[in-house]
Amino acid sequence: NAGVTQTPKFQVLKTGQSMTLQCAQDMNHNSMYWYRQDPGMGLRLIYYSASEGTTDKGEVPNGYNVSRLNKREFSLRLESAAPSQTSVYFCASSEDGSGANVLTFGAGSRLTVL
Amino acid sequence: SQQGEEDPQALSIQEGENATMNCSYKTSINNLQWYRQNSGRGLVHLILIRSNEREKHSGRLRVTLDTSKKSSSLLITASRAADTASYFCATVNTGGFKTIFGAGTRLFVKA
């Protein structure tokens, strides 16, 4: 009953460092998503993967890369972190992105870039 | 830019009162959803209303959708202290893969 699992939960980086946020779901969902949440901004879509083997840009993709490793896993990479990327990152999945697209979220990863 | 905008940004009510939150959006949608987020947690799906529906109920939740005005409202009846959370509307585009969130309404229910 894990649902969507994100690691790490907390991370502090220095400007210019790189890191990868990991996400895994055990619900056999086809679609996976990465969002960032900033105060007063709601959630903004960074990248999504409609199905295994495909990825597409969302609203705010600059500075990020993603990999859909297999059906279960979808990672988000920051190649050269910037203070503007300080945020809470949420991974989500949905069974059928072309239909209702109800999202199941992970608990979030809080990233601070100094 | 974000699809949905919510109103009010924050709402404080007494336990037992009803809470109404509104959401406006900009483009054609497949459906509109409402999510809840407790402090420090991920979002949890509450209810979905399709573009050809006008009203939907689930327990103490009532959602309306007016596609001509591109707006929706969420009503929580007989609110409880445990309803204290942020509530977000989210729209799914007609292509189906992008779910775009509004900025949310922070609800505080006083016991």
| Whole-number pLDDT of residue A96 | 74
A82 CB near a chain B CB, below 8 Å? no
Each residue's pLDDT tens digit, B62-95: 999 999 999 999 999 999 999 999 999 999 887 7
Across B8-21, b (16+ Cβ under 10 Å) vs e yields eeebebeeeeebbb
A102 contacts B33? CB cut-off 8 A: yes
What is the tens place of the pLDDT at every residue in B26-51?
Answer: 988 989 999 999 998 999 999 999 99
How many of the other CB atoms lie within 10 Å of CB of A94? 26
Per-residue pLDDT at B11: 96
What is the number of other CB atoms lying within 10 angstroms of the CB of residue B67?
15
Contact with chain B for residue A63, Cβ under 8 A: no
Residue of A nearest to B5 (CA): A42
How far apart are the CA of A80 and the nearest CA of chain B, in angstroms?
A: 24
Most trustworthy range by pLDDT among A48-52, A93-97, A107-111: A107-111
How far are the Cα atoms of A4, A78, B99 from residue A86, in angstroms, in the given order?
Answer: 22, 11, 22
